[in-house]
Structure 1
Amino acid sequence: MAVFLFVVKIAADNWRVHGNPLGTNEIMRGMFGCKREVVVLLGADGVMCALTGVGWVLQRMVREGTVAWDGWGWVVQHVWQTVFIAGVVGLTRLREWPWTHTVFFVLHGLVMLMKQHSYAFYNGHLSSVYKQRALLLGKIKELEGVSPVTSPSATEPPVADIHTTHLTKAPSARERRQSLPHENVLDIDRIVAAIDSGEPLDQEQVHVFERVLKWEVDALSDELRGKSTQPGREYPRNLTLCNHYEYVVLPTVVYELEYPRSASINWYYAAEKAAACFGIIFVMIMISQAFIYPVVMDTVRMKDEGVPLAGRFRRFPWMLLDLVFPFMMEYLLTWYLIWETILNFLAELTYFADRGFYDAWWNCVSWDQFARDWNRPVHNFLLRHVYHSSISAMKVDRHTATLITFFLSACVHELVMWCIFKKLRGYLLILQMCQLPLVRLSRTKWLRNRATLGNVIFWLGIFTGPSVLCSLYLIL
């Protein structure tokens, strides 16, 4: 109700001064003044989404053995992702789109980049699992044809050296990842080497080797099923064009073989979210036109008139005060627009039942809690493909992996700011990296277990951060 009455007041003031509820309406004219560019934007966005199919083609080649994922496969994928995002950013510079077009296209391009990365690297991992399972199935077949010797065999490894405690547990991908020590992985390699050697094996070796290999095969099969609950969705049967493009339109950036799905579409709910989406955009335009656009044009005027940097900085405190509340409203409305209206609208139309797009981030008492709660889809992506991948691939500790994750996220946010303001300053990157010492501070004895104080500090950052950033980019 407060936002509605606020918009009514803006419209009334615009009508009194300009004879038009939208005021001077520069933002709307910038967005839709050139209809040809709107058509180009939508067409480019469709082509961009279609080009994600390159990742599907590569995974088909990996499955058929044309390309090895552990060889050139992941290299080709990284090269393609670099070309893809460079093309997205380059097109915005080439067309010289207004900031509204640029923000939409670049953010959607980053979403498509994350989707491609998750699709490629999860399926690439499963391709390695599939090859390993095929290898072990072949070794089990060979073991069935072995005629064991009656006397104890001297062939390595002896049964006493094989770890078998895990065989009492039901074989699963979870048990394989979490319960098995590293020695068990070496056991598999030694067993395969023993079978390949053709040396004689005794009855006990054949029996234990077969048990270990069958347990491993069953665990690998469980990993190939992933979260799928229906036959026909496990790897590699998921590598269909339909499956790929279905994933592209789902409101998630983490690829799974199957997602929880709803039984039907609530068209009333979908219409409500669609109406809310367009209504929120209209409110955001009204606020930007009335309170943010004049401040921006004032800074442009100062630069055009050659006002020195010191003179522009004297205007900084007043600019900050002018922008604090409008930016706070725009921040909240942007969050509501994306995570409540757009994602829920897509989820309803695609039968996507997992609606955990955010948690109650407004109750956060620390910045690490905010990073987890405000954007669950991207948090889940960073957790799987940056944080855990850094630990497993780069062999770093948890603190270093956290630093890498925050730094990558900050670089991507800075890229968006570069696309909007057409200049690289690093203010957003620095402020985001400052969250790390603030996280450590929140765990000290002065702030730990003081939820109200932590929440106040958090909201002070939310209020001042966006306006400080915008003011810095405009003045410098």
Structure 2
Amino acid sequence: MTEIPYLRKKKILRDTNKPFNIHPASEEGKNEKSNTSVKAHLSHAFVFRERPSHFDVPTMVKEGHPFRGFFTLFWIAMGFFLLQTFTTNLKLTGHITSSYLFSILSKDLGSLFFSDMVLIAATFISYGIQKAIVYEWFHREYAGMIIQHIYQTSYLALAISWALWKDWPWVQTTFFILHAIANLMKIHSYISYNGELSVFYERLESLKKDQENLIKASKQSNKDEDPEIAQELRNQIEDARTSLTKDDIQYPENVTLKNFWEYLLFPTLVYELDYPRTERIRPWYLFEKCLAFLGTFILLYVTIEHQIIPVLDHSVDNTSVIYMILQLIFPFMIAHLLVFYIIFECVCNGFAEISRFADRSFYDDWWNSATFDEYARKWNRPVHLFLLRHVYLDSIQTYKLSKKSATYLTFLLSSCLHELVMVIITRRFRLYLFCLQMFQLPLIWLGRRPIVLKYPWLGNTLFWFGLVSGLPLLGVLYCRQVVIETNDQ
């Protein structure tokens, strides 16, 4: 019988409805059952489909959302808050608002813009790496992975070094570093996903050669093909082709500049061969999101300028931390909601409309969360899906970690990245945010107690109490020092 080398290797599993499940299935090991169930769950979680965001106004009106009146009330209240602040400030100072924060925001914008363009341009190196793999200049395994990790480490290290050297104000530094981390996630997903596909492509080519050898050997020996081996080869070739294809796009045809540029514009951090798309760009919808961005940004500016900075600036010496937290609870809560709305409703939807990206599920109903892990899953879905695919699942499949260990690893990495941002912004290593995030672990445990599970409102109360008190506490620990140092410059 003709020897078919690949048939001794592990069989490729592929579910055509689950585009994420591209790893070979393990046939042995004590975590087999656990890994299979996890892959099935995550494959379902990564299905992109056309859907609107929760606060999309036309959809809320069309579907008769029961809380659309409260949504309207919130913005009316914010409008009156804006009017009250302007009139009060005009009476006291003769100006409707202060220009202190504006002077910070407008500082060194040209340098920031140029630096951000370089940051974006550097992401195209990931396209070059993947193109080199397609041309077989080197393979994904070993050399490809080493190059990938060197590139990603250099990208982040240079971005951090540049931000520290430029010594921008905290607003510009925050924007630049967060954009660098988002780009890092994008390029990691792009290289990793296409790298896995390249391995499957090599296996597909190997299977085709095995099939040709089988046919050639049967002709030379004047004997029929072994039906079992022939059928197994056909099945595995079809499985491999399915793994490399989604809709009408097949690897390596997706590795093009156009495809990579579209991926950069898409408001997602996980790469797929194809995404659901809208038929056209709606100019009026885009104008609405731009208008919403402008209005919300003005509200955020006024809140920070008149409600947060004065408390941090004028309550430096001999001021109780508890008193400052009480003074900052409401402003920080409003600022948190406004930042959330700007990023996930205005910016993400704006880029989605420009790129015709149809899946607008950038967040779920995080305000109903009963635990902080539920909040982490729901309030920032792009980051959650990245961690789910490239940290949680990979740690289980590649390093054979248990579900529990993979969860802790994901949580630890997320906490370290958050603290890294704060270290760069404040230029100090304090670990305040890291410790508060680690403190969420016992809160998560508490949220899973039977009494909390029986009464979800109790868990939601604990969640909101932790959020509204934790934000101003971080403000006292971090932001006050930044404001003081800014004033001293």
Please state which band the TM-score falls in when normalised by the shorter chain: 0.7 to 0.9
Match of 1:428 among 427, 433, 449: 433
Match of 1:15 among 70, 90, 93: 90
Shift of residue 201, structure 1, vs aligned partner: 12
Match of 2:242 among 210, 219, 222: 222
Gaps of 5+ in 1: 150-199, 303-310
Shift of residue 202, structure 1, vs aligned partner: 8.1
Match of 2:105 among 24, 28, 31: 31
Shift of residue 436, structure 1, vs aligned partner: 2.4
| CA-atom RMSD in angstroms | 1.8
Shift of residue 446, structure 1, vs aligned partner: 2.4
The alignment status of 1:237 with 2:253, answered yes or no, reads yes
Question: More displaced, 377-386 or 416-425?
Answer: 416-425
Q: Partner of 1:411 in structure 2?
A: 416
Deviation sequence 1:224-260 (CA, Å, 0-9, x none): 01xx312xx2110111111111101111111111110
Shift of residue 273, structure 1, vs aligned partner: 0.5
What secondary structure is seen at the aligned counterpart in 2 of 1:457?
A: helix
Match of 2:123 among 32, 52, 56: 52
Question: More displaced, 78-87 or 391-400?
Answer: 78-87
Whole-Å Cα distance in 2 between the matches of residues 223 and 85 of structure 1? 31
Match of 1:315 among 296, 299, 320: 320
Residues 453 and 137 (structure 1), Cα distance of their counterparts in 2 relative to 1, 3 Å cut: same
Alignment of structure 1 residues 125-144 onto 2, 5 Å: 125-144=196-215
What secondary structure is seen at the aligned counterpart in 2 of 1:147?
A: helix
Whole-Å Cα distance in 1 between the matches of residues 217 and 127 of structure 2? 41
Scaled by the length of structure 1, the TM-score of the pair is 0.82
Deviation sequence 1:147-181 (CA, Å, 0-9, x none): 399xxxxxxxxxxxxxxxxxxxxxxxxxxxxxxxx
Deviation sequence 1:319-340 (CA, Å, 0-9, x none): 1111111110000100001001
Whole-Å Cα distance in 1 between the matches of residues 168 and 480 of structure 2? 22
Whole-Å Cα distance in 2 between the matches of residues 105 and 99 of structure 1? 10
Q: Do the aligned residues in 1 keep the contact of 2:349 with 2:360 (CA within 8 Å)? A: yes
Q: In the alignment, residue 81 of structure 2 is paired with which amino acid?
A: F
Q: Do the aligned residues in 2 keep the contact of 1:262 with 1:353 (CA within 8 Å)? A: yes
Whole-Å Cα distance in 2 between the matches of residues 418 and 263 of structure 1? 43
Q: Do the aligned residues in 1 keep the contact of 2:312 with 2:480 (CA within 8 Å)? A: no
The alignment status of 1:288 with 2:363, answered yes or no, reads no
Alignment of structure 1 residues 229-308 onto 2, 5 Å: 229-230=247-248, 233-298=249-314, 302=317
Q: In the alignment, residue 356 of structure 2 is paired with which amino acid?
A: Y
Whole-Å Cα distance in 2 between the matches of residues 87 and 239 of structure 1? 26
Q: Partner of 1:70 in structure 2?
A: 141
Residues 38 and 474 (structure 1), Cα distance of their counterparts in 2 relative to 1, 3 Å cut: closer
Q: In the alignment, residue 336 of structure 2 is paired with which amino acid?
A: Y
Aligned length: 406
Q: Which has the larger radius of gyration?
A: 1
Q: Partner of 1:326 in structure 2?
A: 331
Whole-Å Cα distance in 2 between the matches of residues 44 and 354 of structure 1? 30
Q: Do the aligned residues in 1 keep the contact of 2:293 with 2:342 (CA within 8 Å)? A: yes
Runs of 4+ in 1 over 6 A off after TM superposition: none
Whole-Å Cα distance in 2 between the matches of residues 26 and 81 of structure 1? 37
Q: Partner of 1:98 in structure 2?
A: 169
What secondary structure is seen at the aligned counterpart in 2 of 1:448?
A: helix
Q: Do the aligned residues in 1 keep the contact of 2:363 with 2:379 (CA within 8 Å)? A: yes
Gaps of 5+ in 2: 1-75, 482-489
Shift of residue 213, structure 1, vs aligned partner: 1.4
The alignment status of 1:383 with 2:383, answered yes or no, reads no
What secondary structure is seen at the aligned counterpart in 1 of 2:398?
A: helix
Whole-Å Cα distance in 2 between the matches of residues 147 and 252 of structure 1? 50
Shift of residue 296, structure 1, vs aligned partner: 2.6
Shift of residue 295, structure 1, vs aligned partner: 2.5
Match of 1:345 among 343, 350, 357: 350
Q: Partner of 2:5 in structure 1?
A: none
Question: More displaced, 61-70 or 133-142?
Answer: 61-70
Q: Partner of 1:363 in structure 2?
A: 368
Whole-Å Cα distance in 2 between the matches of residues 221 and 434 of structure 1? 46
Shift of residue 473, structure 1, vs aligned partner: 2.6
Q: Do the aligned residues in 2 keep the contact of 1:316 with 1:475 (CA within 8 Å)? A: no
Q: Do the aligned residues in 1 keep the contact of 2:152 with 2:184 (CA within 8 Å)? A: yes
Q: Do the aligned residues in 1 keep the contact of 2:352 with 2:360 (CA within 8 Å)? A: yes
Q: Do the aligned residues in 2 keep the contact of 1:30 with 1:98 (CA within 8 Å)? A: yes
Whole-Å Cα distance in 2 between the matches of residues 285 and 335 of structure 1? 14
What secondary structure is seen at the aligned counterpart in 2 of 1:108?
A: helix
Whole-Å Cα distance in 2 between the matches of residues 250 and 438 of structure 1? 35
Shift of residue 76, structure 1, vs aligned partner: 1.2
Whole-Å Cα distance in 1 between the matches of residues 243 and 304 of structure 2? 50
Match of 2:457 among 452, 457, 463: 452
Q: Partner of 1:469 in structure 2?
A: 474
Counting aligned pairs with the same residue, the percent is 36
What secondary structure is seen at the aligned counterpart in 2 of 1:438?
A: helix
Match of 2:216 among 139, 145, 150: 145
Whole-Å Cα distance in 2 between the matches of residues 202 and 464 of structure 1? 78
Whole-Å Cα distance in 2 between the matches of residues 84 and 238 of structure 1? 24
Q: In the alignment, residue 394 of structure 2 is paired with which amino acid?
A: S
Q: Partner of 1:169 in structure 2?
A: none
Whole-Å Cα distance in 1 between the matches of residues 235 and 170 of structure 2? 56
Q: Partner of 1:208 in structure 2?
A: 228
Q: Do the aligned residues in 1 keep the contact of 2:270 with 2:386 (CA within 8 Å)? A: yes
Residues 141 and 98 (structure 1), Cα distance of their counterparts in 2 relative to 1, 3 Å cut: same
Q: Do the aligned residues in 2 keep the contact of 1:323 with 1:467 (CA within 8 Å)? A: yes
Shift of residue 290, structure 1, vs aligned partner: 0.6
Whole-Å Cα distance in 1 between the matches of residues 311 and 152 of structure 2? 37
What secondary structure is seen at the aligned counterpart in 1 of 2:244?
A: helix
Shift of residue 268, structure 1, vs aligned partner: 0.9
Shift of residue 434, structure 1, vs aligned partner: 2.3
Shift of residue 93, structure 1, vs aligned partner: 1.2
Question: More displaced, 426-435 or 385-394?
Answer: 426-435
